[in-house]
Amino acid sequence: MFPLVVGVGKVCIADGMVKVECEACGASVKRITSARLQGRTLCLTDYMKEIEKYRRHIVKTFDEESEPAIAILQRAHSEAPPGYTLLAVRRGRNSTHTWEAEYEKTEVFQMRCS
């Protein structure tokens, strides 16, 4: 079992113990207590702050008057925006014929220690 570092992947113990510098606050932390986000190395405190900024939801609206609900459900899944994961499809608010598909940004994990 190798520890998983967010944005880096699974790291071996030797790499996990290597000290890295947080690019936000400059703190020196072990690799296993760091994370990579948008190409920057961050300590876990700064990672939690940054992820809030980057956590973006996308909502796409479909209309049941122009296509059947089953087609909307399929399209909501197959036409997810690149880099986003479908979270839910639900009825639009205050509407009997629109559907909303909600997507969340997916973090891209890179593998280390090949």
Amino acid identity, position 87: L
Q: Is 59 helix (H, G, I), strand (E, B) or coil?
A: strand
Shortest Cβ 17–Zn ion spacing (Å): 18
C-beta of 50 vs 107, nearer to Zn ion: 50
Shortest Cβ 112–Zn ion spacing (Å): 20
Shortest Cβ 54–Zn ion spacing (Å): 16
Positions that interact with Zn ion (CB under 5 A): 22, 24-25, 27, 43, 46
**Residue 113 to residues 3, 9, 12, 20, 38: CA-CA distances in angstroms?**
12, 9, 7, 16, 20
C-beta of 24 vs 80, nearer to Zn ion: 24
C-beta of 45 vs 98, nearer to Zn ion: 45
Cα(110)–Cα(107) distance, integer angstroms? 10
